[in-house]
């Protein structure tokens, strides 16, 4: 199944005339005018609807497939959250309109800030960061601002465990810091000896994900906190895996000074094919003066924006307005529907599902990366043995799973574990669907033994088969050019 | 249990398979001292029916005012098909298209988006989008520093005719990496950047000049002269443009002799609701020669092992998940779903439909300016036309006027007096194609009443 480019359905003079006003004469000098029209397709409404509906059908998604993509928390996105966030009163609100015209929205944001404070054990929350990576940026920028305000500007090193997401070191650099990698021990915990050696008067802070990207809880978190705080550094919590501990343990109680939350993971706002996300940040006492603006405040019964005047030490604005406001509405609605007990159930059933699939795969002959550890909400298997003995890699398994109707787990991340699959079933998958995933893995393992070439050639049932990434990078074709298409 | 499918039998069987007695036992690696007993500060769960009532009440409270504010977020008609299709589960609930074979829909759509944005801005290549227009400018400044190897200063000239919030965001996003953002004043009588003001920097090492078109005050800059001025000094040109206007006005790629190097801006006018300021999306396009310096996702067309055409993420060696601390940016996601909406919007409108919107905006704003110019106590700040925003000068403070208009359910514009004190009691107003003649007349009357009431005994 392939679909032509929409430009290839374009015919001169065809228009969806109900959709836009007709061109009017305007008073515009010649030197400002555009001479050749832009390459936008000339198609009917039906052609547009059909084209994009067909494109949608070429995607795997949570709504159509089990999607056990580790570190991404691909849980069900309740439809009600979307419907209610798209009520006309929310969509029609201009971000710069008078505060009296936005009390319903502002109240909702204020309550969301409060709920997130409770969930994380932090003292303040700013909702503006537009994605996890921007939340990380806000967090590290606040750590820098804190040290700078104390005249402690020599602190410019950020410690990052070697298992961390790539955004962690990239963020540290964007904040003008140097990155120091800390190794992990053979049980998946931070190597405390190496951490002690790495800290010093140059340490700005450490970025930690807990449970880590290795799918295990960092058991020495209290020692890590002691070592970093004693050295004068601050602790940053990457909330990528908050789903695993919701209602069980709070980053604030673990001693973290700042945290970002991926609302598109833990609080089920849509991933949307790669965004918009939302990376709200929470801070402890020490970083309250530096929060990104705007934040929503309350005077009596009236809600209002807090800006530079209220938070003079702020690291500033990360978006023109209020971050991904519509995403925040969806997170609020989801959190209200979960309620306090539902939050704890999220981590309980996410953890139950992960441990169940882990044990079943282990019993079926797969190698666990950390066989002596509990899974958090996710876990890692390594196909190193299969790669050596059968020549079938983690990527081959991933592609083969697509033919069985399962989205692939995360492949080759974290980089520490060779031939790895990082598997996160989430709490919203039913047991029989988890069993189906295990059965597919078992079937692929059997195929790998008697017909490895077939597995290496997968997928067979998707709209296209494996793509030539080298060609894509070497012979760059990033935009459609009708002239070269005719040739 | 909300959104959790497990039956008691399921749980029993699963615990048995794992070999534990209770779910709680699965958390036994977490130090006991750190455990919390529930989240008492979170309210009890409500069902979909109850939350529906709550959200309807709040949305109704905010209402649907008659909006004459622009300033970076614009009210346009959005064809029904846009969000009907974009919120299909296959788009809405998919992840970033790392597994290309399972994501051809999203990938092909982004390729089509890249084509549309590159063409709209008159440049060669586009990325898959940034967070919003303001943060895209911050990233564009960082990109210019990487691309302009002749410059070592990291100095970025930003005219004061650029959106004040964009200037703040660019500083917050890029300021930690040694860039210096310098604000250049404008001609207060005319509302556009003065070439003479730029001359103060003629002999300095400048990395890039930012040129907004139309500018924040609604005016058209002399983009050809400004672009040539920058290029004559080996500075790069970063265009900040409104995508609707580009159906009508000269695209950045054709500015001056050589064209702008990078274009960026806010994609919201292309079918994205105002929604209190987000989610929107930023766009970024550039010349082919700078593509490896561009941040964010990029989709390329290639072939599969059977020779069929397919689409995949490419040039990933720029990105954080490969390059980690050496990446062009820490950006991970784009604003995929908003890009989906915008691509459907641009397909439905086509070049002619978008020009229709742009011309209707221009003419409605001209009509609004005419109506306002006859209101006592209101004058139009700059003569000689504008795109779809204009500055009004009042003979009384702006804030109480806006308050009175708000009481009439009119979002009456943006108060400029704090950011542009030299303009006095200035108000930025906007009329898009959504405003009828009656709306504009109503706005004029309400403005006359509000100004008269606030000015009171003064006149």
Q: What are chain A's domains? A: 6-56 (no CATH), 80-338 (3.40.640.10), 343-471 (3.90.1150.10)
* C-alpha to C-alpha distance for A252 and A346, rounded to whole angstroms: 19
Cβ contact A466–B87 (<8 Å): no
- Among residues B378, B376, B384, the alpha carbon closest in space to that of B189 is found at B384
Looking at beta carbons, which residues of chain A come within 8 Å of B340? Answer: 52, 272-273
Nearest neighbour of A21 by CB, restricted to B103, B276, B433? B433
**Residue A247 — left, alpha, or beta (φ > 0 → left; ψ -120 to 50 → alpha)?**
left
* C-alpha to C-alpha distance for B241 and B166, rounded to whole angstroms: 12
Of all residues in chain B, the one with the smallest CA distance to A429 is B5
Nearest neighbour of A6 by CB, restricted to B112, B315, B329? B112
Looking at beta carbons, which residues of chain B come within 8 Å of A130? Answer: 131-132, 135, 278-279, 335
Sign of the Cα torsion A20, A24, A28, A29 reads positive
Of all residues in chain B, the one with the smallest CA distance to A465 is B304
Nearest neighbour of A273 by CB, restricted to B220, B279, B336? B336
Complex ipTM more than 0.90, yes or no: yes
Q: How far is A450 from chain B (nearest CA, A)?
A: 23
Cβ contact B112–A134 (<8 Å): no
* C-alpha to C-alpha distance for B97 and A272, rounded to whole angstroms: 10
Of all residues in chain A, the one with the smallest CA distance to B367 is A26
Looking at beta carbons, which residues of chain B come within 8 Å of A187? Answer: none
Looking at beta carbons, which residues of chain B come within 8 Å of A342? Answer: 1-3, 45
The reported pLDDT for the residue numbered A487 is 42
Cβ contact B333–A21 (<8 Å): no
- Among residues B185, B229, B187, the alpha carbon closest in space to that of B209 is found at B229
* C-alpha to C-alpha distance for A7 and A13, rounded to whole angstroms: 13
Q: What is the DSSP string of A416-477?
A: TSTTEEEE---TTS-HHHHHHHHHHHHHHHHHHHH-HHHHHH---SSSS-SB-HHHHHHS--
Which residue has 């949305």 as its token pair? B59
Looking at beta carbons, which residues of chain A come within 8 Å of B181? Answer: none
Looking at beta carbons, which residues of chain B come within 8 Å of A281? Answer: none
* C-alpha to C-alpha distance for B326 and B322, rounded to whole angstroms: 9
The reported pLDDT for the residue numbered A485 is 65
The reported pLDDT for the residue numbered B332 is 78
Looking at beta carbons, which residues of chain B come within 8 Å of A95? Answer: 73, 274, 276-278
Of all residues in chain A, the one with the smallest CA distance to B17 is A356
Looking at beta carbons, which residues of chain A come within 8 Å of B266? Answer: 320
Which residue has 């690291």 as its token pair? A315
Cβ contact B224–A31 (<8 Å): yes
Which residue has 């801070």 as its token pair? A283
- CATH code: domain B80-344 is 3.40.640.10
Take residue B184 and report the two structure tokens written for it.
């250049």
Q: How far is B119 from chain A (nearest CA, A)?
A: 5
Q: How far is CA B222 from CA B211, B248, B261, in A?
A: 9, 16, 17
The reported pLDDT for the residue numbered A406 is 98
Nearest neighbour of A102 by CB, restricted to B62, B319, B360? B62
Does CATH number 3.40.640.10 belong to domain B66-74+352-458?
Answer: no
Residue to mutate among B8, B42, B402, with most A CBs inside 10 A, is B42
Residue to mutate among A73, A90, A214, A276, with most B CBs inside 10 A, is A276
Looking at beta carbons, which residues of chain B come within 8 Å of A469? Answer: 302, 312, 314
The reported pLDDT for the residue numbered A301 is 95
- pLDDT tens sequence for chain A (487 residues): 789 999 999 999 998 878 899 999 999 999 999 999 999 999 999 999 999 999 999 999 999 999 999 999 999 999 999 999 999 999 999 999 999 999 999 999 999 999 999 999 999 999 999 999 999 999 999 999 999 999 999 999 999 999 888 889 999 998 999 999 999 999 999 999 999 999 999 999 999 999 999 999 999 999 999 999 999 999 999 999 999 999 999 999 999 999 999 999 999 999 999 999 999 999 999 999 999 999 999 999 999 999 999 999 999 999 999 899 999 999 999 999 999 999 999 999 999 999 999 999 999 999 999 999 999 999 999 999 999 999 999 999 999 999 999 999 999 988 889 999 999 999 999 999 999 999 999 999 999 999 999 999 999 999 999 999 999 999 999 999 988 764 4
Cβ contact B64–A92 (<8 Å): yes
Question: For chain B, which residues score pLDDT lower than 70?
Answer: 457-459
* C-alpha to C-alpha distance for B334 and B324, rounded to whole angstroms: 17
Nearest neighbour of B1 by CB, restricted to A35, A115, A345? A345
Cβ contact A479–B250 (<8 Å): no
- Among residues A327, A405, A419, the alpha carbon closest in space to that of A367 is found at A419
All structural domains of chain B with their residue ranges: 66-74+352-458, 80-344
């Amino acid at each position: 199944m392939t679909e032509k480019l929409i430009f290839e359905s374009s015919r001169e003079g065809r228009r969806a005339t109900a959709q836009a006003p007709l061109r009017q004469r305007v008073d515009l000098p010649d030197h400002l005018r555009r001479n050749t029209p832009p390459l936008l397709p000339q198609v009917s409404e039906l052609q547009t609807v059909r084209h994009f509906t067909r494109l949608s059908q070429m995607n795997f998604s949570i709504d159509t497939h089990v999607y056990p993509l580790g570190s991404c928390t691909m849980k069900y996105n309740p439809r009600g959250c979307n419907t209610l966030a798209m009520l006309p009163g929310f969509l029609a609100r201009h971000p710069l309109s008078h505060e009296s015209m936005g009390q319903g929205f502002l109240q909702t944001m204020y309550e969301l800030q409060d709920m997130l404070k409770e969930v994380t054990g932090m003292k303040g929350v700013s909702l503006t960061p537009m994605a996890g990576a921007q939340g990380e940026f806000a967090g590290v920028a606040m750590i820098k601002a804190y040290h700078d305000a104390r005249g402690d500007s020599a602190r410019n090193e950020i410690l990052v465990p070697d298992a961390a997401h790539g955004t962690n070191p990239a963020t540290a650099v964007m904040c003008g810091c140097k990155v120091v990698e800390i190794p992990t021990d053979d049980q998946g915990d931070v190597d405390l000896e190496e951490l002690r050696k790495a800290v010093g008067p140059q340490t700005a802070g450490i970025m930690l994900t807990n449970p880590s990207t290795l799918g295990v809880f960092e058991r020495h978190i209290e020692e890590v906190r002691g070592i970093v705080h004693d050295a004068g550094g601050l602790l940053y919590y990457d909330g990528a895996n908050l789903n695993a501990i919701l209602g069980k343990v709070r980053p604030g109680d673990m001693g973290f000074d700042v945290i970002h939350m991926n609302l598109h993971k833990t609080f089920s706002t849509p991933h949307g094919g790669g965004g918009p996300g939302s990376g709200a940040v929470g801070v402890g006492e020490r970083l309250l003066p530096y929060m990104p603006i705007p934040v929503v405040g309350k005077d009596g019964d009236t809600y209002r924006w807090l800006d530079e005047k209220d938070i003079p030490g702020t690291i500033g604005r990360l978006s023109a307005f209020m971050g991904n406001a519509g995403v925040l509405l969806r997170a609020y609605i989801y959190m209200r529907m979960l309620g306090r007990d539902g939050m704890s159930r999220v981590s309980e059933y996410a953890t139950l599902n992960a441990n169940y699939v882990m044990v079943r795969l282990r019993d079926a002959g797969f190698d666990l990366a950390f066989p002596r550890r509990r899974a958090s909400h996710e876990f890692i298997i390594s196909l190193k043995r299969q790669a050596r003995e059968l020549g079938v890699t983690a990527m081959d398994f991933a592609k083969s799973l697509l033919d069985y109707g399962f989205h692939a787990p995360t492949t080759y991340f974290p980089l520490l574990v060779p031939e790895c699959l990082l598997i996160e079933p989430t709490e919203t998958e039913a047991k029989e669907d988890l069993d189906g995933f295990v059965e597919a893995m078992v079937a692929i393992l059997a195929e790998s033994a008697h017909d490895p070439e077939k597995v290496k050639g997968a997928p067979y049932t998707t709209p296209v088969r494996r793509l030539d990434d080298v060609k894509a990078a070497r012979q760059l074709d990033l935009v459609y050019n009708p002239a070269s298409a005719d040739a | 249990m909300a959104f959790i499918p497990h039956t008691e039998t399921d749980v029993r069987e699963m615990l048995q398979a794992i070999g534990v007695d209770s779910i709680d036992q699965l958390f036994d690696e977490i130090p006991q001292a750190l455990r919390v007993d529930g989240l008492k500060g979170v309210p009890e769960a409500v069902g979909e029916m109850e939350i529906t009532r709550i959200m309807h009440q709040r949305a109704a409270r905010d209402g649907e005012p008659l909006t004459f504010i622009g300033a970076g977020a614009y009210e346009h008609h959005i064809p029904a098909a846009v969000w009907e299709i974009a919120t299909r589960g296959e788009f809405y609930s998919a992840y970033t298209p790392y597994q290309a074979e399972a994501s051809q829909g999203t990938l092909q759509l982004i390729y089509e988006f890249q084509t549309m944005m590159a063409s709209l801005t008159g440049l060669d290549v586009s990325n898959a989008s940034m967070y919003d227009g303001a943060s895209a400018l911050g990233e564009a400044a960082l990109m210019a520093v990487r691309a302009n190897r002749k410059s070592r200063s990291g100095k970025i000239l930003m005219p004061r005719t650029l959106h004040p919030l964009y200037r703040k965001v660019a500083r917050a996003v890029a300021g930690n990496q040694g860039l210096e953002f310098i604000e250049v004043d404008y001609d207060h009588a005319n509302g556009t950047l003065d070439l003479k003001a730029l001359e103060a920097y003629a002999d300095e090492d400048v990395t890039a000049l930012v040129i907004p078109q139309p500018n924040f005050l609604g005016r058209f800059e002399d983009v050809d002269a400004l672009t040539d001025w920058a290029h004559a000094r080996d500075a790069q040109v970063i265009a900040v443009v409104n995508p609707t206007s580009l159906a009508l006005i000269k695209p950045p790629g054709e500015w001056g002799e050589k064209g702008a190097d990078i274009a960026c801006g806010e994609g919201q006018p292309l079918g994205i609701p105002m929604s209190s300021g987000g989610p929107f999306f930023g766009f970024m396009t550039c010349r082919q020669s700078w593509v490896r310096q561009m941040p964010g996702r990029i989709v390329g067309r290639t072939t599969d092992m059977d020779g069929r055409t397919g689409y995949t993420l490419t040039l990933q060696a720029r990105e954080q998940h490969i390059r980690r601390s050496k990446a062009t940016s820490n950006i991970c996601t784009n604003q995929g779903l908003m890009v989906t909406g915008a691509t459907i919007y641009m397909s439905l409108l086509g070049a002619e439909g978008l020009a229709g919107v742009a011309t209707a905006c221009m003419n409605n704003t001209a009509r609004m300016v005419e109506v306002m110019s006859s209101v006592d106590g209101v004058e139009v700040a700059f003569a000689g036309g504008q795109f779809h925003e204009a500055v009004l000068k009042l003979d009384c403070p702006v804030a109480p006027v806006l308050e009175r208009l708000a009481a009439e359910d009119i979002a009456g514009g943006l108060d400029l007096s704090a950011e542009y004190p030299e303009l006095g009691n200035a108000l930025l107003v906007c009329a898009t194609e959504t405003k009828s003649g009656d709306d504009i007349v109503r706005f004029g009357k309400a403005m006359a009443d509000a100004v008269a009431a606030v000015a009171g005994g003064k006149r």
